[in-house]
Amino acid sequence: MVYSISGNKAIINGQNGIYDKKVNNPETKYGRNAANNYASYTKDIANSPEMPPLQFEYRYIPQGKYSTQALMGNAYEELGKRTEVSVTELNKKLDADKQKIEEMNKQILARNPQAVVVHPDFTAEALDLNGDGKVDIGEYATSTMAADMLDGDQAKCDIKNLDGVITNKGEDASLGLYMKQNVQNAKALFNEIHKTFQLDKAMNEFKSNQNNMEQ
């Protein structure tokens, strides 16, 4: 198992993983391991007879100085080991999240028919910062950082809350950024993060080293 269990919580990080002997840069390696280990955790929730805890703590960059190379490695892994994907493809990924929420809605309404539930209408459009119909790893990384910030305060994104860890709170709060009615505000937020942390520069640095993308 590539994650540990502490009480009723799954602890996921990139300290070890399948890229230990493949990727040379320790920060990039950490980010890719972390994303791969998190993917294993989510698969176990869906398929394992002994389902892990639904509560999780996911450290996607090493502790210490915030690493944009770990962030790029993480984004590269999450985009299926590619440096960019189409908005259409990302929308399919969001559709899977929508289906999960609708299943939860059914369970809630079965217990309480009067309950108020939200029927999400997601789009990845806000992540396409340059309007080319694609989302590259620099653009995609802004969503990870936003979820991290929202983990500390679910009402607003604040850089001071950026600590490299995402839990259920941040993940759940970040889903609101993909609602179709929030595209304009979300894109402004993602643009601000992208510019502040010079993620184009970080992406180009990541892509300049072929070993970072070792399969």
Determine the pLDDT at residue 10.
Answer: 97
> What are the structural domain ranges in the chain?
4-209
Q: Of the candidates 190, 186, 200, 159, which has an alpha carbon nearest to the alpha carbon of residue 68?
A: 200
- Greatest extent of the chain over all pairs of C-alpha atoms, in Å: 55
pTM here is 0.91
Determine the pLDDT at residue 131.
Answer: 97
Mean pLDDT over 5-34 rounds to: 97
Mean pLDDT over 184-194 rounds to: 97
CA distance 21 to 29: 9
Determine the pLDDT at residue 102.
Answer: 73
Query: What is the CA angle 91-95-96, rounded to 5?
Result: 125
Q: What is the pLDDT of residues 22-58, one digit of tens each?
A: 999 999 999 999 999 999 998 888 787 888 988 999 9
Confidence tier at 105 by pLDDT (50, 70, 90): low
